[in-house]
């Protein structure tokens, strides 16, 4: 029972965090039809930037904003590579995430006073005295623990995910957001509205990667550090959460897609949680991830067949 | 008015397949004129429209819209002044968005797409009024995703949307070709009505010789990048279908096809 409860806790915490990443994917993959691989790098960037800043006692909300802005910047580079230099979407993501491997490492090592060409610490730890959003207002009002459950972390991450969801929902109703939807739906139509569809794409990818970096900053807070392997598998987690959410709950009309995506992220983490409860070693996690993603793709044939799908 | 000056356009340049569609081609349409363009495949009709709209750029020559040189402008910038309806009914609307959302987007054409809410419910009555002209009952289906409409309905919507904002030139690119005969008549009637009401300069490419004769002030026939037949006003009114068919067939036979 205790094992079950603690697994449930981890499932929900991780589910809420990765829901933010998956909602970013909702914009780039589902709306813009752009399979964006750059999140593999931007999630880690978000974690590294956040951890470095709070280690220097920067306000954690400001640190999260900085992570978000950097993610948006990196995402816009992916967009510019595609729109201005006409590089294929998959390659743009690979180029940016590859470049970010170096950038993240340099940031982590140099940010901690290490020597880039010599010895240095590549993992950025968040010390016990460093401010995180869970140790700051308004989350410090929530009791830290209740009934053996880390209530503050759970509620805090849920609240951040809900705020991101509400903001994305609102954004999609604005003129700019509707233009983004139109860009994914019919580029010619956007052209006829005298707008450059390329700008919409760049903006959408910037928002998607800003969400990814935000998720990265939360992952770092959850784990207490940002290490260089943090970004691995993010594409799969984000896409699988998105696709599971939409294929499982897509039939329910009154649910917003963003709500489905949050549910999808939790379901996905729950599958990993069940595997853990059954005693499957965590080394198999990435294999299970890939298998789950394949199953989700097949289950939603409509998605699997979409042009630009990851096949 | 729209004016093409000494326009040359080649395709597959530098390959054995090189074809020259236009060579030092001049063409113009006067303000307020409704011109129908006919011609066989490969005569340059669609290339003409693509050059005007900016989907293609000429190898040499200039294109002027109401005196302004638009030759270097990309397609989306020209769209400020040019509206277009495509042959494919799917091209003029967004399938996953509702009729209301499509119209709300079009309503903001030539304005800034910022962070204001896009759909303004107060405008719905106005949108309904525009749609009721089509006589297809679209005004009662504002919340329907456009993708679930028939081709004729979608094309009617595309036509209405293309004319929601003031523009200086309306381009109709075989816009009835993909429709059944009845829808095709409905769309042509609607087109005529909109063009008359707005007195907008219109360039229509069509394969339907009947439509070309019945509608518009001027009839032009293209053949191998040349303007081989050009009649307007009374002269055009007197032209019979047989006469056009003869010329058309003459050209095709001459070409040996």
| Residue B133 located in a structural domain | no
Range of the domain at B50: 2-94+166-255
Instruction: Let me know if residue B124 belongs to a domain.
Output: no
Q: Which residues contact A73 (CB under 8 A, 6 or more apart)?
A: A206
Counting every residue, how long is chain A?
311
- Residue B34 is predicted with a pLDDT of 93
List, for chain B, all residue ranges whose pLDDT scores fall below the cut of 50: 257
Residue of B nearest to A198 (CA): B76
Identity of the residue in B83, B97, B116 whose CB atom sits nearest the CB atom of A192? B83
Could you tell me if B164 lies within 8 Å of chain A, comparing CB atoms?
no
Within a domain: residue B116?
no
Pick the residue from chain B with its C-alpha nearest to A170: B117
Mean pLDDT, residues A63-68 taken together: 96
Query: How does residue A32 score in pLDDT terms, banded at 50, 70 and 90?
Result: very high
Taking phi over 0 as left and psi of -120 to 50 as alpha, with beta for the rest, B140 belongs to: alpha
In this complex, do B93 and A186 lie within 8 Å of one another by their Cβ atoms? yes
Contacts of B113 in chain A (CB under 8 A): 175-176, 178-179, 195
Residue B26: inside a domain, yes or no? yes
Residues within 8 A of A (CB atoms), B 67-126 only: 74-77, 79-80, 83-84, 86, 90-97, 101-102, 104-106, 108-110, 112-119
Q: What is the mean pLDDT of residues A275-301?
A: 84
Whether the CB-CB separation of A210 and A24 falls below 8 Å is answered with yes
Residue B241: per-residue pLDDT: 85
For residue B69, being part of any structural domain is answered with yes
Q: Is residue B242 part of a domain?
A: yes
B122 located within any domain: no
Q: Structural domain tally of chain B?
A: 1
Q: Residue B224 maps to which CATH number? A: 3.40.50.300
Is the model's pLDDT at A304 over the cut of 70? Answer: no
Residue of A182, A191, A195 lying closest to B94 (CB–CB) = A182
Look at residue B85 in the predicted model and tell me its pLDDT: 93
ipTM over 0.85: yes
- Say whether B83 and A191 touch across the interface (CB within 8 A): no
Residue B174 lies in a domain: yes
Contacts of A179 in chain B (CB under 8 A): 105, 113
Query: Is A194 within 8 Å of B109 when comparing Cβ atoms?
Result: yes
Please report the pLDDT score of residue A306 as a whole number.
44
- On average, the pLDDT of chain A sits at 88
Closest Cα to residue A32, out of A194, A202, A246, A251? A202
Provide the phi-psi class of B40: left if phi over 0, else alpha when psi is between -120 and 50, else beta: beta
Q: Would you call B74 and A196 a contact, using CB atoms and an 8 Å cutoff? A: yes
CB pairs A-B closer than 8 Å: 81
Confidence class for position A176, pLDDT limits 50, 70, 90: very high
Range with the largest mean pLDDT of A63-67, A242-246, B177-181, B244-248: A63-67
> pLDDT of A186-228, one tens digit each?
999 999 999 999 999 999 999 999 999 999 999 999 988 888 8
Nearest-Cα residue of chain B relative to residue A168:
B115
Q: What is the CATH number of domain A2-114+151-304?
A: 1.10.3470
**pLDDT the model gives residue A311:** 29
Task: State whether the Cα torsion B144-B145-B148-B149 is positive or negative.
Answer: positive
Element (H, E) at B92: none
**More confident of the two residues A63 and A248:** A63
Per-residue pLDDT reduced to its tens digit, A142-166: 777 777 778 888 999 999 999 999 9
Helix (H) or strand (E) holding A8: helix A2-25
pLDDT at A127: 82
- Looking at residue B84, what is its pLDDT? 93
Q: Which residues of A touch B90 (CB under 8 A)?
A: 186
The mean per-residue pLDDT over the stretch A7-35 comes to 93
pLDDT of residue A302: 53
**Chain A interface test: which of B70, B94, B98, B121 (most A C-beta within 10 Å):** B94
């Amino acid at each position: 029972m205790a094992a079950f409860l603690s697994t449930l806790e981890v499932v929900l915490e991780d589910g809420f965090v990765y829901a933010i990443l998956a909602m970013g994917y909702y914009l780039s993959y589902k709306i813009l039809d752009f399979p964006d691989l750059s999140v593999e790098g931007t999630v880690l960037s978000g974690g590294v930037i956040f951890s470095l800043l709070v280690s220097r006692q920067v306000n954690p909300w400001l640190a999260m904003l900085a992570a978000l802005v950097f993610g948006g910047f990196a995402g816009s580079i992916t967009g510019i590579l595609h729109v201005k230099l006409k590089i294929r979407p998959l390659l743009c993501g690979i180029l940016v995430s590859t470049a970010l491997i170096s950038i993240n490492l340099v940031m982590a090592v140099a940010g901690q006073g290490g020597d880039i060409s010599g010895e240095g610490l590549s993992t950025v730890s968040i010390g016990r005295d460093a401010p995180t959003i869970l140790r700051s207002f308004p989350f410090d009002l929530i009791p830290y623990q209740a009934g053996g459950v880390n209530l503050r972390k759970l509620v805090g991450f849920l609240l951040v995910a809900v705020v991101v969801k509400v903001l994305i929902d609102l954004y999609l109703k604005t003129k700019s957001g509707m233009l983004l939807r139109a860009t994914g739906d019919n580029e010619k139509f956007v052209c006829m509205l005298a707008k450059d569809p390329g700008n919409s794409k760049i903006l959408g990818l910037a928002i998607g990667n800003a969400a990814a970096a935000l998720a990265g900053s939360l992952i770092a807070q959850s784990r207490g550090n940002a290490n260089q392997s943090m970004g691995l598998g993010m594409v799969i987690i984000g896409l699988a959460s998105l696709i599971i959410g939409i294929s499982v709950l897509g039939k329910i009309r009154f649910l917003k897609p963003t709500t489905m995506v949050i549910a999808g992220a939790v379901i996905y983490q729950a599958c990993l949680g069940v595997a853990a409860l059954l005693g499957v070693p965590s080394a198999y996690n990435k294999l299970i991830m890939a298998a789950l993603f394949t199953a989700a793709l097949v289950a939603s044939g409509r998605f699997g067949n979409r042009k630009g799908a990851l096949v | 008015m729209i004016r093409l000056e000494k326009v040359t356009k080649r395709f597959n340049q530098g390959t054995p397949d090189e074809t020259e569609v236009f060579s030092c081609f001049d063409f113009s349409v006067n303000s307020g004129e409704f011109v129908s363009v006919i011609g066989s495949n490969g005569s340059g009709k669609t290339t003409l429209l693509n050059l005007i709209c900016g989907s293609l750029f000429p190898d040499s020559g200039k294109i002027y819209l109401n005196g302004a040189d638009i030759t270097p402008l990309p397609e989306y910038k020209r769209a400020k002044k040019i509206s277009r309806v495509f042959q494919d009914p799917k091209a003029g609307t967004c399938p996953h968005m509702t009729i209301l959302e499509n119209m709300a987007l079009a309503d903001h054409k030539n304005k800034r797409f910022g962070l204001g809410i896009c759909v303004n419910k107060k405008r719905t009555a106005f949108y309904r009024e525009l749609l009721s002209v089509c006589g297809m009952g679209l005004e009662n289906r504002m919340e329907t995703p456009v993708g679930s409409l028939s081709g004729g309905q979608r094309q009617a919507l595309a036509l209405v949307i293309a004319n929601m904002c003031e523009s200086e030139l309306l381009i109709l690119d075989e816009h009835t070709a993909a429709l059944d005969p009845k829808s095709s008549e409905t769309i042509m009637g609607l087109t005529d009505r909109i063009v008359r009401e707005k007195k907008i300069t219109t360039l229509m490419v069509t394969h339907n010789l009947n439509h070309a004769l019945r509608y518009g002030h001027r009839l032009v026939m293209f053949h191998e990048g040349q303007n081989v037949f050009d009649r307007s006003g009374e002269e055009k009114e007197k032209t019979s279908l047989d006469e056009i068919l003869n010329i058309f067939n003459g050209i095709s036979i001459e070409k040996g096809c």
